[in-house]
Amino acid sequence: MDQAAALRSLAVPALRQVRPESPGAEVIVVGSGKGGVGKSVLSVLFATALVRNGRRVLLVDGCQNQGNLHILLGVRPAGRLEDLLTGETDLDQLPVAVSPGLWLLPADSGAESLYALNRVDRARLHHQLSSLYDAFETVVVDGGPGIDNVVRVASMSATRLVVVTVPEPTALSDAYALIKIVSLQIPALPASVLVNRTRSGEEGLAAFERLSLAASRFLGRELEYLGTLPEDDALRADIRRPGALLAAAPSEVDEAIARLIGSKTSGAQGVCVDPPGSPRTMSAS
């Protein structure tokens, strides 16, 4: 089957009928100008924090052919994007239930047919996948590596971009490049910044202020500061154990989510079972 024809013929899935009254999901795209800054881990922590806040959440692996969120979460994909192209699976069969209130839309890894897609067909595939969004209250999209991929997924109904960076000159430069391209391509999309792997709150704030000053001076746009996350060895250990992130409840992430959604998460009664013990203070690695 011709892949482009298959993409054009994909139907809106039955899963969308779960919330037919929905005015549209809130779609948060988590992106970075470079890899290795903790973006994927933060996407998981954002999603779980939102579930604890009572949201019905879809976590999307936005990197079509380098997917790893299913590995972090310790779940087995029910279907593959490659099978979607050939008609061997339906769109509504792709989301995987991870925990009460949380679903994952996984990506493939090393699929030749996905690698061969041109930019137009990649965008068409993202568009078809985004037809799942309205079945949920909030969608968190891990934008994947590279500016092009983040811009592509952000153009699909995104309501906010969260830029993850670390307090290093190269990371800040790449984060600014992402903000610049998004400002040119999607000027109305609000952008927030979260500084990861810091030694102090002051270091994170200083990094944000550098980005904010450049964005204001050269792009004429304001950035929202979500906060900073410190280095933490405990979370690094969790990352090495598939599924362990589901039990992590870092207070800094909850505070960042509270700023993002404009409500208090402390004491919120979500639909997930709280992990045993008190929430730990940790960073995303």
pLDDT, position 2: 42
Do 4 and 208 meet the contact criterion of CB atoms below 8 Å apart? no
Note the pLDDT of residue 259: 72
Strand partners, 225: 193
Would you say the C-alpha torsion 60, 256, 285, 151 has a positive or negative sign?
Answer: positive
Mean pLDDT, the chain cut into blocks of 10 residues (285 residues total) = 37 35 78 89 90 92 87 88 84 93 90 83 86 94 89 91 95 96 95 92 95 97 90 76 74 68 42 29 42
Secondary structure class of 37 (helix, strand, coil): coil
From the list 31, 38, 32, the residue with the least C-alpha distance to 236 is 38
Q: Which of 115, 122, 113 is nearest to 151 (CA)?
A: 122
Return the pLDDT at 248. 66
Q: What is the largest CA-CA distance in the chain?
A: 56
What pLDDT score was predicted for residue 111? 80
Q: What pLDDT was estimated at residue 52?
A: 85
Return the residue matching tokens 């994007």.
81
Residue type, 202: E
The predicted structure's pLDDT at residue 23: 58
Round to whole Å and give the CA distance between 52 and 47.
9
- The predicted pLDDT at position 249 comes to 56
Tokens 């879809």 appear where?
58
Q: With b meaning 16 or more CB within 10 Å and e meaning fewer, what string describes 264-280? A: ebeebebebeeeeeebe
What is the chain's length? Answer: 285
What confidence score (pLDDT) does residue 182 get?
96
The pLDDT of residue 236 is 75
State whether residue 113 is helix, strand or coil.
helix
What pTM was estimated for this model as a whole? 0.82
What's the CATH fold of domain 3-10+25-261?
Rossmann fold (3.40.50)
The CA distance from 244 to 234, in Å, is: 11
- Enumerate the domain spans of the chain: 3-10+25-261
Hey, which residues does 198 pair with through a beta bridge?
Answer: 230
3-class secondary-structure state, position 148: helix
CB atoms within 10 A of CB 154: 27
